Structures are given as C-alpha cells and as structure tokens.
C-alpha cells in the first residue's frame, strides 16, 4: 500500500510539471503598445477606435513578407485608449504568439480593409491630414511576448508653409501641387508615387499671432527650379499667386519641411570680380575689376522679371599702397616684405560689402660688392723693397651697392682684414710695413686683404732685396 501511494504521488507530480511546462509554451493573443513616436501631424494622436493593419511572418517557415499567405494577413487591431494599446478588433483578428515561434510583425496605419498585395499597397493622398498620414512599424525582436512594442515611422513628408504678411491673413487659402497616387511596400517600408501627374490639394490653415501657416502631407518628391509648388489665394479678392522655388527642393519621408511664403521684398545683389589680385614687387601694369550692384523685387528669393535696377556704391577702404582709378587697380613699388590687404566697396542702401583681396610680392634686393685698390686693380706688386725695411701706403675701395627691384637704393662700406703669408710683413692703417732682411738672399711674400661680407680678396706681392753684407760680432 505504501509503495502504491508513492507511485501515485509521482504520477501526480509529473502531471503538474507537464501542465506547467505546457502553460509556459502556450500561445497567447498579442497586443501592440507604443514606443515614443512622432506623427506626421503632431496635432493628431491616436484616438479610440483608430485601426492598424498587421501582417506577421513566421521566420521558421517564411523568409520574407509575401503579398499574401503569411502567418497573418491584414489583421485589424484598434486603439484602446484605456489600455494604451492596439487590441484585436474581434476574435477573427486575433494573433497568437509564443516563445517557440519567431514572428516578425509588420504594422501600418491607417487600416485598409481590402489589401490584395502587402508589398504593393495603394495609398491615395486626399488633403486630409488624418487619413493621409501613413505610419509604418516593424518588430522583429522574436521575444515571444504578449505585448509587442512598436516604433512608427512616417512614410510621408510634412509641409508647413509660413505666410508672414500681415495683409489679408483671414482671406488667405493655399493649395499644394503634389502627386497623390502611391503604393507602399510593407516588406521594406518604402512609399513610391505611381502616377506621373500632380494635382492641387488644399492645405490646412493654422493661424498664429503674427502669421498663418498652411500644413499638409505629401509623398516624397522633388520640385525643380521654377516648377509650381503651391498657390496662395485671397478668397474674397479673387486673386491668386503661384509660388515656385528659386532652386531645386527635395521632400523626403519622415521630414518636416518649413517653407516661407513671404510678400514681395527687396533683394540686393552686390559682388565684385575678380575676388583677388596679385602684383609683383615692381609692377606698374594696372588690373581691372567689375562691380555688380543691383536691387530687385523678389518673392521667396525668386527675382521678379523687369524689376532689377542698378544701385550706387562707394569705395569704403583700401591699403595705402593701392591706387584705384575707375575700374583699374595699380600698386606702388614694394621695396620691403610681401604685403596683403583688402579693397572694400560698400553698397549704399543695403550696407552690403564686396571685397577684393590684394597681394604684392616682396621687393627683390640684390647686392653688388666692390673691393679693389684705389686704382681699380685687384693685384699689386711691391718690388725692390730695401733690405733695411720699408713701408708703403695703399688705398682700398670697399663698397656694397644695395639694389631693390634693380634700382640702386644705397651704398654701404664693409670692413676688411689683412693677413700675410710671412712673418716679416704686416699691414696697419693704410700702409704695409716690411722689416729688415738680415739674410744675404732676397725674399718674397704676399699680403692679402679680405672683404668681410663678400669674402672678396685683393693682394700685394712683396719682393725684398738681400742684405749685401752680414755683421759678425
């Protein structure tokens, strides 16, 4: 009996564990919660009953999202404001998840009841921000959890046109010329236009204290220069003004694009060509320049035809070594280091400036050294010097002629030194001294003078006679 009880207890324990394990692996119907998201229209949030469509791919069976025939196709989930989650609209739309599955969730807003192909879903822009807004999210975390978090992305581009004029704000309305027919590939989250034509759609008017703005959602697209973007209308006045960009403008998914539609305003154009001039140190050839100084009427940067007139301008400043005559620039000779400066012109009405950078190379300095005896010779001979010794005067010319840009600027007088290759001759002041020759043979030597800076040399050859007799003590 005791053993029977033990066996029964073991069976009951195993059954409980098995049931617990089955419970942990049991599938549960999912709901979708929101991570911080941004709607293309910030003024609208999910409201009770807003519906999303859900496609699910089972990674254990499918590699990618198919047009149809997925683990779940276009299940309808609605927003529950109390639970702050999207829940299945009914039992037929329930989606079940479990830890043993690897499910990818593809979610879009707003829900469409008739979808033939999840990779090519039609979406038409109507001018209603609530219905035009298209959000898309993917969750491929494969957690097996009941609550699936979503981070929505915007597939449309938001436009916000600012009208800053204070005139007739209450009478204004605006349309935008845009593509409307699109298709969305939920596998990639990419939205593309399908019809090569644009139509005019109204933009939503939002009034501020000092402005009005017109907002709406458009597919990603590009507007070329001069291509109509929008039309401003004054309802009671019966007038309308088209607007186009002065340069190409591109609108992409998920961006908010600010556009300023301003009344007619003045546009100033002021520049000089060339923007830089270079001169040599000794350059007396002038170089020309052209100043463009204009005033026009413009709307949003686009110049209105036949509205451009010339504007006066003046010379504001220049380096003192620069001269301007009419439309020509000359410079004075540069006898020093290289130098740079600016020529500045001022447009009188706008206070705009236009500048020319001016550069001049350094002056070219050359030196011409002269080192000779007074008669211009570089070598002299002093012969027949008495055996008893003698001295002889000399004159040396030592100059440095400094030229700048090829013109003599000034003269300097470098010093010089003297040396002899014998010990019986020396130079001092302006004379050479030779001591007594006590030998009965003549002797010779050389006195050399060297200019300090240049290293140039001049020489005197010395020849001293022998002594006729030698004293014997």
Question: Does position 88 have pLDDT exceeding 50, yes or no?
Answer: yes
The stretch 229-249 carries a mean pLDDT of 83
Q: What is the pLDDT of residue 313?
A: 97
Q: Does domain 28-154 have CATH number 3.20.20.150?
A: no
Q: What is the pLDDT of residue 196?
A: 82
> Would you list the DSSP string of 314-343?
EEEE--TTEEEETTEEEE----SS-EEEEE
Q: What is the pLDDT of residue 43?
A: 46
Confidence label for 328 from pLDDT (cuts 50, 70 and 90): very high
Which DSSP state fits 163?
E
- Structure tokens belonging to residue 221: 């697209």
How many helices and strands in the chain, by DSSP H and E?
Answer: 2, 44
- Structure tokens belonging to residue 337: 């280091």
The stretch 39-44 carries a mean pLDDT of 51
Q: Which is more confident, 2 or 273? A: 273
Q: What is the pLDDT of residue 13?
A: 38
Rounded Cα distance, 196 and 248, in Å:
18
User: 396-427, pLDDT tens digit by residue?
Assistant: 999 999 999 999 999 999 999 999 999 999 99
Q: Which is more confident, 101 or 334? A: 334
Nearest to 140 by CA among 73, 65, 84, 89: 65
Q: Domain segments of the chain: what residues?
A: 28-154, 157-264, 266-360, 365-464
Q: Which is more confident, 16 or 448? A: 448
Cis previous bond, 188, omega within 30: no
pLDDT, the chain, mean: 88
CATH code reported for the domain at 365-464? 2.60.40.10
> Residue with structure tokens 């154009």?
269
> Would you list the DSSP string of 404-463?
ETTEEEEEE---EEEEESSTTEEEETTEEEE----SSS-EEEEEEEEETTT--EEEEEEE
The distance in angstroms from the start CA to the end CA of the chain is 162
Angle at 426 between CA 420 and CA 428, to 5 degrees: 125
User: 170-208, pLDDT tens digit by residue?
Assistant: 778 899 999 999 999 999 999 999 988 899 999 999 887
Confidence label for 16 from pLDDT (cuts 50, 70 and 90): very low
The stretch 27-54 carries a mean pLDDT of 78
Using CB atoms within 10 Å of the CB of residue 105, give its burial: 0 to 12 exposed, 13 to 18 middle, 19+ buried: buried
Rounded Cα distance, 45 and 133, in Å:
11
The stretch 212-227 carries a mean pLDDT of 92
Question: Does position 327 have pLDDT exceeding 60, yes or no?
Answer: yes
Which DSSP state fits 180?
-
Three-state DSSP class for 152? coil
Contact 181, 193 (CB under 8 A): yes
Nearest-10 Cα torsion for 303, 304, 309, 312: -40
Question: Does position 300 have pLDDT exceeding 80, yes or no?
Answer: no
Q: What is the pLDDT of residue 143?
A: 84
Question: Does position 219 have pLDDT exceeding 80, yes or no?
Answer: yes
Confidence label for 62 from pLDDT (cuts 50, 70 and 90): low
Listed in order, strand segments (DSSP E) in 60-109 are 72-80, 85-88, 96-97, 103-109
Q: Which residues of 51-69 are buried (b: 16+ CB within 10 A; e: fewer)?
A: bbbbbbbeeeeeeebeeee
The stretch 224-247 carries a mean pLDDT of 84
Contact 309, 294 (CB under 8 A): yes
Confidence label for 23 from pLDDT (cuts 50, 70 and 90): very low
* CATH architecture classification, 157-264: Sandwich (2.60)
Nearest to 119 by CA among 133, 130, 108: 108
Three-state DSSP class for 74? strand
Confidence label for 286 from pLDDT (cuts 50, 70 and 90): very high
Question: Does position 270 have pLDDT exceeding 60, yes or no?
Answer: yes
CATH code reported for the domain at 266-360? 2.60.40
User: Which CA distances in Å does 206 have to 1, 27, 126, 211, 269?
Assistant: 87, 48, 18, 9, 34
Beta bridge partners of 402: 367, 410
Three-state DSSP class for 130? helix
> Would you list the DSSP string of 222-286?
EE-TT-EEEEEEETTTTEEEEEE-SS-EEE-TT-EEEEEE---EEEEEEEEESSEEEE-SS----
The contacts of residue 20 (CB under 8 Å, 6+ apart) are none
Nearest-10 Cα torsion for 61, 66, 71, 74: 170
Q: Which is more confident, 236 or 15? A: 236
Question: Does position 40 have pLDDT exceeding 90, yes or no?
Answer: no
- CATH topology agreement for domains 28-154 and 365-464: yes
The stretch 213-234 carries a mean pLDDT of 91
Q: Which is more confident, 239 or 375? A: 375
Q: What is the pLDDT of residue 142?
A: 87
The stretch 352-369 carries a mean pLDDT of 96
Q: What is the pLDDT of residue 1?
A: 40
Cis previous bond, 347, omega within 30: no
In what helix (H) or strand (E) does residue 21 lie, and over which residues does it extend?
A: helix 2-25
């Amino acid at each position: 009996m005791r053993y029977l009880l033990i066996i029964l207890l073991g069976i009951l324990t195993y059954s409980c564990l098995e049931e617990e394990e089955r419970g942990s692996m049991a599938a549960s119907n999912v709901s979708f919660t929101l991570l911080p998201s941004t709607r293309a229209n910030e003024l609208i949030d999910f409201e009770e009953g807003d519906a999303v469509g859900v496609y699910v791919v089972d990674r254990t069976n499918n590699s990618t999202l198919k047009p149809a025939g997925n683990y779940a196709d276009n299940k309808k989930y609605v927003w529950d404001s109390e639970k702050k989650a999207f829940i299945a609209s009914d039992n037929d739309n329930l989606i079940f998840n479990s830890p043993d599955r690897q499910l990818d969730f593809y979610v879009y807003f707003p829900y469409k009841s008739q979808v033939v192909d999840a990779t090519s879903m039609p979406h038409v822009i109507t001018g209603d921000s609530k219905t035009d807004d298209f959000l898309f999210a993917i969750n491929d975390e494969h957690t097996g959890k009941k609550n699936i978090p979503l981070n929505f992305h915007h597939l449309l581009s938001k436009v916000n046109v600012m009208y800053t004029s204070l005139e007739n704000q209450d009478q204004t309305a605006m349309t935008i010329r845009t593509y409307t027919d699109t298709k969305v590939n939920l596998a990639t989250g990419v939205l593309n236009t399908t019809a090569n034509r644009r139509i005019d759609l109204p933009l939503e008017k939002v009034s501020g204290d000092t402005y009005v703005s017109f907002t709406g959602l458009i597919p990603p697209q590009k507007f070329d220069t001069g291509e109509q973007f929008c039309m401003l209308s004054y309802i009671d006045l019966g007038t309308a003004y088209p607007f186009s960009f002065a340069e190409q403008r591109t609108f992409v998914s998920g961006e908010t694009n600010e556009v300023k539609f301003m009344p007619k305003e003045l546009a100033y154009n002021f520049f000089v060509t060339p923007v830089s001039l270079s001169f040599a140190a000794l350059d007396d050839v002038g170089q020309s320049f052209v100043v463009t100084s204009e005033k026009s009427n413009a709307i949003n940067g686009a110049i209105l035809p036949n509205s451009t007139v010339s504007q006066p301008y003046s010379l504001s400043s220049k380096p003192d070594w620069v001269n301007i005559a009419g439309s020509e620039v000359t410079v004075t000779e540069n006898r020093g280091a290289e130098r740079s400066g600016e020529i500045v012109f001022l447009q009188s009405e706008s206070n705009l400036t236009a500048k020319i950078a001016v550069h001049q190379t350094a002056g070219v300095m050359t030196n011409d050294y002269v080192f000779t005896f007074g008669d211009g010779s570089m070598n002299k001979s002093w012969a027949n010097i008495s055996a008893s010794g003698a001295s002889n005067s000399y004159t040396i010319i030592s100059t440095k002629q400094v030229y700048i840009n090829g013109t003599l600027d000034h003269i300097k007088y470098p010093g010089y030194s003297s040396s002899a290759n014998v010990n019986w001759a020396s130079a001092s002041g302006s004379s050479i001294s030779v001591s007594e020759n006590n030998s009965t043979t003549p002797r010779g030597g050389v006195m050399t003078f060297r200019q300090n800076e240049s290293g140039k040399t001049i020489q005197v050859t010395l020849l001293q006679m022998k002594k006729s007799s030698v004293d014997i003590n």
